[in-house]
């Protein structure tokens, strides 16, 4: 069901207008677009006596996949540091989701999906034929999913720019191969493309976010993008009108941002940077005093104290570091749209998750929502005139 998200003080539906600058007319979209730091959620009188009573599990029915499930809709991003099998192992039993990164080989994937049911794990592919071939190969080697719960139940089709027609065709082709799987596809940031991916592509969930990621430089390099809170509000409205879902991807730096994404209407929220630096990540760790040295992904040196992690090298999947690791460098026709940073060690991912779920429960209590399902209906944003962090 479509719902309208309230933003106190902001203008309603966007309109494109012609704006004259001297003799020249330029197209401008009217109405301000907002990001997480532009708003807060207004506390309201509530009959809830305790935040512990708030239910943050939600039941999902999908537009195309014949699945009904109850999940906690937090998703680990399909980045090679964060979308790991160890992450899926940890988040799965909590009812949370992981989009595996694309760089596991066939044998690793077959082992992983054969070991036990992986209902919360997305098999991630891009748009290359090799990706589809790998998916089909792994799928062929697995038991049929209906019979024992094993197999590939969820597919994430990820591309930096989901606006190309070939992408919609690609998603449609994957839907033909996997009529019963939950398919998440993106990224886009505007309602018309959400509708196209849901209806023409056959996606169940559309991934929303162009430019908000913590290690993304798309806005700086290309000048393109869309403030993430507005993108979520507008895309959720389009998706819900079609019984589809969206996954807000990127830009959450702290639990309050995850809360705002759900308040804005996100059905799922995907996290990269917030989960980076936890024990469940893969990659180049720096240890107290010593560093592991690598050539590509092959380690050639050892650390003195492997139990004392200090920081993790976390990089965007379009960064020079990622292209160096996976594509043999940056191609001549493209430029990097990601950066690298060092993130401090955070311990178990469950410590981070507990902060997020604690924030969510508390936010529901502040606005009188008994469950995450009710939260967007209960939430009213207020626009703030300064950064409040």
Active site positions, annotated? 216
317 scored as a contact of ligand 5GP (CB under 6 A) = yes
Q: In angstroms, give the least distance from the CB of 319 to ligand 5GP.
A: 5
316 scored as a contact of ligand 5GP (CB under 6 A) = yes
Nearer to ligand 5GP, 201 or 250 (CB): 250
Q: In angstroms, give the least distance from the CB of 316 to ligand 5GP.
A: 2
318 scored as a contact of ligand 5GP (CB under 6 A) = yes
Whole-angstrom distance, CA of residue 262 vs CA of residue 54: 14
Whole-angstrom distance, CA of residue 136 vs CA of residue 132: 6
CA-angle at 70, arms to 159 and 203, nearest 5°: 30
314 contacts 346 by C-beta, under 8 angstroms: no
Residues 201-240 that bind ligand 5GP (CB under 6 A): 209, 213-216, 218
Whole-angstrom distance, CA of residue 205 vs CA of residue 147: 25
Q: In angstroms, give the least distance from the CB of 326 to ligand 5GP.
A: 12
322 contacts 338 by C-beta, under 8 angstroms: yes
Member of 56, 65, 76, 79 binding ligand 5GP (CB under 6 A): 79
191 scored as a contact of ligand 5GP (CB under 6 A) = no
Contact range with ligand 5GP by CB under 6 A, out of 24-32, 86-94, 264-272, 369-377: 264-272
Member of 270, 349, 364, 367 binding ligand 5GP (CB under 6 A): 270
Q: Which residue is listed with tokens 């290690």?
A: 215
Q: In angstroms, give the least distance from the CB of 321 to ligand 5GP.
A: 9
273 scored as a contact of ligand 5GP (CB under 6 A) = yes
174 contacts 200 by C-beta, under 8 angstroms: no
Q: Which of 354, 349, 353 is CA-nearest to residue 278?
A: 349
Residues 120-179 that bind ligand 5GP (CB under 6 A): 160
**Radius of gyration (C-alpha) of the chain in whole angstroms:** 21
Member of 54, 238, 271, 364 binding ligand 5GP (CB under 6 A): 271
382 contacts 40 by C-beta, under 8 angstroms: yes
Member of 38, 282, 321, 337 binding ligand 5GP (CB under 6 A): 337
Q: Which of 336, 323, 289, 324 is CA-nearest to residue 308?
A: 289
255 scored as a contact of ligand 5GP (CB under 6 A) = no
Residues 14-53 that bind ligand 5GP (CB under 6 A): none
314 preceded by a cis bond (ω within 30 of 0):
no
Q: In angstroms, give the least distance from the CB of 73 to ligand 5GP.
A: 15
In the structure encoding, which two tokens stand for residue 1, read together?
């069901």
Member of 151, 191, 272, 283 binding ligand 5GP (CB under 6 A): 272
Q: Which residue is listed with tokens 């996606």?
A: 203
281 scored as a contact of ligand 5GP (CB under 6 A) = no
Find residue 315's DSSP bridge partners.
340
73 scored as a contact of ligand 5GP (CB under 6 A) = no
234 contacts 14 by C-beta, under 8 angstroms: yes
Residues contacting ligand 5GP: total by CB under 6 A: 25
303 scored as a contact of ligand 5GP (CB under 6 A) = no
Member of 201, 202, 251, 255 binding ligand 5GP (CB under 6 A): 251
Per the document, the length of the chain is: 389
CA contacts within 13 A on the Cβ side of 265: 28
Q: In angstroms, give the least distance from the CB of 154 to ligand 5GP.
A: 16
250 scored as a contact of ligand 5GP (CB under 6 A) = yes
Nearer to ligand 5GP, 85 or 352 (CB): 352
Q: Which of 174, 252, 262, 247 is CA-nearest to residue 214?
A: 252
Q: What is the DSSP letter of 234?
A: H
Spell out the alpha helix ranges (H) of 242-306. Answer: 255-263
State the DSSP H helix or E strand holding residue 236, giving kind and residue range, or none if neither: helix 228-241
Contact range with ligand 5GP by CB under 6 A, out of 1-9, 176-184, 247-255, 340-348: 247-255
User: Rule CB under 6 A: which residues touch ligand 5GP?
Assistant: 77, 79, 160, 187, 209, 213-216, 218, 249-252, 270-274, 316-319, 337-338
């Amino acid at each position: 069901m479509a719902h309208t998200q309230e933003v106190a003080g902001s203008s309603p539906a966007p309109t494109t207008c012609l704006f004259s600058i001297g003799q020249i007319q330029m197209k401008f979209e009217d109405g301000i677009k907002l990001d997480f730091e532009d708003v807060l959620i207004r506390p309201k009188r509530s009959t809830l006596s305790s935040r512990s009573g708030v239910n943050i599990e939600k039941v999902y029915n999908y537009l195309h996949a014949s699945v009904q499930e109850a999940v906690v809709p937090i998703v680990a991003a399909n980045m090679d540091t964060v979308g790991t099998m160890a992450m899926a192992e940890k988040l799965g039993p909590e009812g949370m989701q992981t989009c595996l990164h694309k760089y596991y080989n066939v044998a690793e994937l077959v082992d992983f999906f054969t070991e036990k049911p992986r209902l919360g794990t997305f098999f991630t592919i891009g748009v290359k034929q090799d990706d589809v071939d790998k998916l089909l190969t792994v799928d062929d080697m697995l038991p049929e999913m209906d019979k024992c719960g094993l197999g590939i139940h969820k597919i994430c089709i990820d591309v930096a720019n989901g606006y190309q027609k070939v992408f919609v065709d690609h998603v449609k082709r994957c839907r033909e191969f996997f009529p019963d799987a939950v398919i998440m596809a993106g990224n886009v940031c505007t309602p018309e493309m959400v509708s196209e991916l849901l209806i023409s592509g056959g996606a169940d969930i559309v991934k929303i976010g162009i430019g908000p990621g913590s290690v993304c430089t798309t806005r700086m390099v290309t000048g393109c993008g869309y403030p993430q809170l507005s993108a979520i509000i507008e895309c959720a409205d389009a998706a819900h009108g079609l019984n589809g879902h969206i996954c807000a991807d990127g830009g959450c730096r702290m639990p309050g941002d995850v809360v705002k994404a759900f308040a804005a209407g996100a059905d799922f929220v995907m996290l990269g940077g917030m989960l980076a630096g936890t024990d469940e990540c893969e990659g180049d760790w720096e240890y107290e005093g010593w560093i592991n040295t690598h050539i590509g992904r092959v380690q050639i040196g050892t650390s003195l104290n492997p139990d004392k992690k200090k920081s993790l090298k976390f990089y965007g999947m379009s960064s020079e570091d990622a292209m160096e690791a996976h594509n043999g460098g940056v191609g001549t026709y493209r430029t990097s749209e990601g950066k690298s940073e060092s993130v401090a060690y955070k311990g178990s991912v469950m410590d981070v998750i507990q902060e997020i779920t604690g924030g969510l429960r508390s936010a529901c209590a502040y606005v009188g929502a008994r469950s995450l399902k009710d939260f967007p209906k209960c939430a009213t944003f207020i626009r703030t005139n300064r950064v409040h962090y």
